[in-house]
Structure 1
Amino acid sequence: MGSLLRGVSGLRWEELRDARGAAAGGIPPLLSRIAYGGEDTARIAIDDLGDAICALGFDVGEATAPTVPFLLELVGSSHVACKAELLDLLGGICRTDQWHSAAVATQARTHDASYRQQLGWEEASRAAVYAGRSVIEGVASSIRPEEATPARKLLQLMDDIPPFPEL
């Protein structure tokens, strides 16, 4: 994958499921297009990646948390286009709480294994975004407002989101 995204090949993407339930093998080529493609190519790849790791803008999958460090790597790179879109995608991942909200709404204390998996994917995905706070802070201090403004917005979101409820 080049100097960026070296660790991508170390994951068994075909064994992971994306937010739509499909094998996640299509994620590495999308990351590569974001890293090495032009702005138009990157923008399309980010849209496609968003569908795969944060479907409909609110549903994460098993492959979401492992993808987040690569998104953060791209955001932190000096030559990657469309950082605002990447930061927006990270914000969507961070906001995702549909399964936790449903669990609270149903007041059910027992859930099947699939439901518990979804809860775990939400928690892991959000934690992965929070783990990249230093990268986001670096972008927030950029002299380029088209990068700094969405980074500051994401940092504010991270500060404002309440923790997941105890289930």
Structure 2
Amino acid sequence: MGTILKGLHRVQWSDLEVPRGSARDIPTLLSKAAYSDRETGSLALDYLADLVCELGFVISEATAPTVPFLLELAGAPHVACKAEVLQLLLNIYSSREWSHSAADALPKYADNYTHKVQWEVTAHQAVLAGREVVEGLTGSIDPDVAVAASKLLDALDAEEPQ
């Protein structure tokens, strides 16, 4: 895997749920995002986003375990698609689909959302834990990265997740 993403093997990806089944493709997608040119990395990140933040706002079980690796990519000097990584992190942090659905559900269905709301909470906490990485990127010489980092930092400052 190189110098980053060394902890990927510690996660039982095939045991985690994503919208289309197993999360077993996540390590490959993270590696492509880490070590490919911007176009290939961005394509891998698009597919990864469908697994961990479907439609840009629906968190999956695999989201929180993926966030530390996304933060690692954002902070790595050679990653070509950092702005896209930061946008995905912003989408993850901003997601409230499951908590809103739980709040709107009839009482007899509220328990159906308990574990999904916890996915959101855990994912939000994981993004928040990477604040230092995001702060460091606000001064990037790449204007796309600096803007994306600033937007994420603004979201982190605007509100604490539930």
- Name the counterpart of 1:13: 13
- Structure-2 separation of matches of 1:109 and 1:100: 16
1:35 is aligned with what amino acid?
A
- Structure-2 separation of matches of 1:157 and 1:132: 13
Per-residue displacement from partner, 1:90-123 (whole Å, max 9, x unpaired)? 00000111111122234738732x4111000000
- Structure-2 separation of matches of 1:46 and 1:5: 15
**Equivalent pair of 1:95/1:161 in contact (CA under 8 Å):** no
Residue 143 (structure 1) shift? 2.7
- Structure-2 separation of matches of 1:163 and 1:150: 19
- Name the counterpart of 2:113: 115
Q: What is the count of residue pairs matched by the alignment?
A: 162
- Name the counterpart of 2:63: 64
Residue 30 (structure 1) shift? 0.1
1:49-88 residue pairs with structure 2 within 5 A? Answer: 49-88=48-87
The percent identity for this pair of structures is: 44
Residue 59 (structure 1) shift? 0.7
- Structure-2 separation of matches of 1:163 and 1:49: 23
Which runs of 5 or more residues in structure 2 are unaligned? Answer: none
- Structure-1 separation of matches of 2:17 and 2:93: 19
1:130-149 residue pairs with structure 2 within 5 A? Answer: 130-149=128-147
Cα root mean square deviation, aligned: 1.6
Scaled by the length of structure 2, what TM-score is found? 0.94
Residue 141 (structure 1) shift? 2.0
Which runs of 5 or more residues in structure 1 are unaligned? Answer: none
- Name the counterpart of 2:122: 124
- Structure-1 separation of matches of 2:23 and 2:30: 12
1:162–1:3 distance in 2 versus 1, CA, 3 Å: closer
**Equivalent pair of 2:64/2:123 in contact (CA under 8 Å):** yes
**Equivalent pair of 1:21/1:61 in contact (CA under 8 Å):** no
**Equivalent pair of 2:33/2:40 in contact (CA under 8 Å):** yes
**Equivalent pair of 1:54/1:61 in contact (CA under 8 Å):** yes
**Equivalent pair of 1:14/1:25 in contact (CA under 8 Å):** yes
- Name the counterpart of 1:4: 4
